[in-house]
Structure 1
């Protein structure tokens, strides 16, 4: 500790708000605060902002290919992410997928992803014909109502959907979609938190099928659902962009978004500080005392703030809440997480010729249920899905060159993710080659790991978060944001960040003299 007293806030012309965490949640909170009459400081422990929204380069000859190594698409039917991209200067670079024709692999065969589902739960069980047996379709159509859970109830997704529609629906579609979005398993995830559109059916004992139909009508989903198979980030109803832009991307990569927000914050006079780890947070003398360690020197500076937004993963939030909100800290410490790895390949022309549907039309991706017993859980043909990726690959390595992303890792598969890069790459190449129907001999490859990237909303998660929020609300000028608070997916994180910023601003106004 440097021994320095905290920088006082009382002599400042404007209140000072510190945002802890430079992922998309922290960046969005800082951007919302920068529109207000406050001074904003964002502190990020890593050397760069963005968390798992990042780009990297596939080296092929003298011209590298820039690719997303985190989420590669944004759910455009929720406006928050697209709005933020436009606000920070990326409007002209927002693009729609060229195709999102995906298939699910079941019993070794490819089947079109059925139309109109909410996270794999069908609006019309008949749409699953071919994917499921006739008996399994009939079982889903003859929905069996269950007892209402009540306002305070909850249940895991697998138990609820299986009881209503049969276990085949869970195994064939719900599991691979949850594996992509959450890196989780249906038996561990909360209906209330993961399927909010369907929660009323569980709460009230109403029809699940009718709830899916209502959700489909409400969001005007037009075509076959194909959530980004590698965890690209969609909650609720998912569908193709063919009929009106369910998904959006950013030319040059969604990973450009954090940098654009950070640059815009600088233009607004906000301070963005990386390699700055917040070690402790305390309420002292009517202000917040923030101890910040410099990553490179190890020196700790004590600063003061009128307000704080915590936009960090649950373990970090638990540590920083320990002094002032021990109950909230204990609750956040109970939130589990899961990690994943992405293997990105630059492939010679023709490598994906066999990645087609039954009619010979090219597929943009594959979803693989856990029941298939494979290492790879999802495949995305990025050069088919995004025209800008195809052009970049062509410039780097010749016309027809393909970019393929393969996703690995579900909750409980830590041993898989702990393999050395070379061993993981070799295993993914073998398994992925069997899935796409062609030997994978990459011209270039990247292995990207995101350990503990996705909080797991287990049964009871919503009640736990509500209790945390109530506890934190007793502390003036403090608010929480992040995927553990309001759900994964870039739009959900941005919405939560805006709310947290609003809470802090309201607190500052309420305590301002005069």
Structure 2
């Protein structure tokens, strides 16, 4: 295959792309970051591409907008820097100069009646260094006294998989789970650690648990290895103006490269025609024919589309549960927020019984937002966990009121916001139940039996932005051989 794209030109400009003559047609279903990244990879690989998004807006859970005239993210606001895919995509599509690490690091925990420092030296709440944990006051004396048992208990058999909470509690006690692991995993998955898969959600601890006995020693070893791997770089990236700018930049680059991008068009049916072609029935009555299809949709939508051609994969995906959540974004006069802690925000363990599960002091965390806000300070809270989503029934006014009440109790913030927005993400986060890795393997095995079909998105390899982009690249690579002229001739066409 000849090279079908050139390197990026001037700084801040997306790469130029030219398609291969006679290339096949690929349809990408879903206009979130995974679908957009898949379309970008396909067009760079030489395919003709159409992207279809059912909603009126591209970007999925990435959504940049404004409040009180200040640009903000109303969805995901950061990208893990330890994986390169998101930063690479930003550079490829003209946003490389706008990548920015957090200006303020260090979140707290609102637990046991007060705001406490997040103990350093942990891996997703599992302590490798007991000194900072003891000094933080997060655990009771009884909880701290339980920890040394980890060094003398026999090895805990985890089999093929185990729930994070059950495994950590068996080694370190329930307090570590309830006050450290739960709020951290809740921030990523809006899930319950006693149900989430260790193998899928915290794979580095899963590997360590299979190889050794002490969980504390495993966390300590992982912490020792992390700085060398990070090479002193940032843990997260943001984008000036909001991470929600990334899907818009990718969409613009796709359009410039010749991708047809349509919003407000849902795919109602997906069927094979003959031995290789696919037919997609659309909500507006049209039908498209494609040589390859990438489904970058949430599990329920993907299950519906696969029900005719791959009922086994559809059944697997239909069993995946999702969590809903809401973000409450508020703008305050900066002069009325001077007493806020000098941190990026705080997490809230569900065991403490509060409504909000976290608050981010966005203007403190992101230098670009601090500069753009002027006399306005922006912060946000999040509400809603899997299995405990009753608070999402509140209307927007009450959601803001309840968030303010929790903020007043946690950090003493009594000021009234000058503006507030509630963004609801219904069924926004897939839950990685025990056995999830094997479920994904089975789905891909079934999908792999259908030439020219691939899947990607948050349900498969991780809910973070880089993981979704990585999965999209994998999906594009799987179907490209069916799209290029030489590959089709080699298949006997």
TM beyond 0.5: yes
SS in 2 for 1:346: strand
Aligned match of 2:421? 446
Question: In the alignment, is the contact (CA less than 8 A) between 2:270 and 2:305 conserved in 1?
Answer: yes
Question: In the alignment, is the contact (CA less than 8 A) between 1:346 and 1:393 conserved in 2?
Answer: no
Q: Which runs of 5+ in 2 are unaligned?
A: 1-20
Question: In the alignment, is the contact (CA less than 8 A) between 2:26 and 2:483 conserved in 1?
Answer: no
Q: Does 1:337 align with 2:313?
A: no
Q: Does 1:87 align with 2:92?
A: yes
- C-alpha offsets along residues 362-402 of structure 1, whole Å, 9 cap, x if unaligned? 122011100111001101111111122122221xxx3xx31
Aligned match of 1:55? 64
RMSD: 1.9
Q: Does 1:43 align with 2:52?
A: yes
Q: How does 1:312-327 map to 2 (within 5 A)?
A: 312-327=297-312
Q: Which runs of 5+ in 1 are unaligned?
A: 1-11, 223-238, 357-361
Return the alpha-carbon distance in structure 2 between the equivalents of residues 392 and 508 of structure 1.
45
Aligned match of 1:428? 403
Q: Does 1:293 align with 2:279?
A: no
Aligned match of 1:231? none
Aligned match of 2:393? 418
Q: How does 1:153-192 map to 2 (within 5 A)?
A: 153-192=160-199
Per-residue deviation at 1:69? 0.4
- C-alpha offsets along residues 273-293 of structure 1, whole Å, 9 cap, x if unaligned? 111101111111123433343
Aligned CA distance change for structure 1 residues 94 and 109 (closer, same or farther; 3 Å) = same
Per-residue deviation at 1:351? 3.6
Question: In the alignment, is the contact (CA less than 8 A) between 2:430 and 2:458 conserved in 1?
Answer: yes
Per-residue deviation at 1:23? 0.5
Return the alpha-carbon distance in structure 2 between the equivalents of residues 69 and 338 of structure 1.
17
Per-residue deviation at 1:495? 0.7
Question: In the alignment, is the contact (CA less than 8 A) between 2:143 and 2:173 conserved in 1?
Answer: yes
Q: How does 1:139-288 map to 2 (within 5 A)?
A: 139-143=146-150, 144-150=153-159, 153-204=160-211, 206-220=213-227, 243-288=232-277
Per-residue deviation at 1:187? 1.1
The correspondence for 2:348, drawn from 368, 379, 382, is 368
Q: How does 1:343-492 map to 2 (within 5 A)?
A: 343-356=328-341, 362-394=342-374, 398=375, 401-492=376-467
SS in 1 for 2:368: helix
- Count matched residues: 465
Return the alpha-carbon distance in structure 1 between the equivalents of residues 221 and 212 of structure 2.
16
Q: Runs of 4+ in structure 1 displaced over 6 angstroms? A: none
Question: In the alignment, is the contact (CA less than 8 A) between 2:107 and 2:344 conserved in 1?
Answer: yes
SS in 2 for 1:141: helix
Aligned CA distance change for structure 1 residues 221 and 454 (closer, same or farther; 3 Å) = farther
- C-alpha offsets along residues 21-60 of structure 1, whole Å, 9 cap, x if unaligned? 110111111111121121111111111110010012213x
- Which has the larger share of helix? 2
Return the alpha-carbon distance in structure 2 between the equivalents of residues 177 and 149 of structure 1.
22
Question: In the alignment, is the contact (CA less than 8 A) between 1:58 and 1:445 conserved in 2?
Answer: yes
SS in 2 for 1:269: coil
- C-alpha offsets along residues 339-378 of structure 1, whole Å, 9 cap, x if unaligned? 110111111224433332xxxxx12201110011100110
Question: In the alignment, is the contact (CA less than 8 A) between 1:338 and 1:452 conserved in 2?
Answer: yes
Q: How does 1:296-311 map to 2 (within 5 A)?
A: 299-311=284-296
Question: In the alignment, is the contact (CA less than 8 A) between 1:289 and 1:302 conserved in 2?
Answer: no
SS in 1 for 2:334: coil
Return the alpha-carbon distance in structure 1 between the equivalents of residues 156 and 405 of structure 2.
46
- C-alpha offsets along residues 318-346 of structure 1, whole Å, 9 cap, x if unaligned? 00110110010011000000011011111
Aligned match of 1:15? 24
Return the alpha-carbon distance in structure 2 between the equivalents of residues 288 and 214 of structure 1.
50
Per-residue deviation at 1:424? 1.5
Question: In the alignment, is the contact (CA less than 8 A) between 2:115 and 2:411 conserved in 1?
Answer: no
Question: In the alignment, is the contact (CA less than 8 A) between 2:64 and 2:73 conserved in 1?
Answer: yes
Return the alpha-carbon distance in structure 2 between the equivalents of residues 425 and 204 of structure 1.
47
Aligned match of 2:489? 513
Return the alpha-carbon distance in structure 2 between the equivalents of residues 333 and 424 of structure 1.
31
Per-residue deviation at 1:121? 1.1
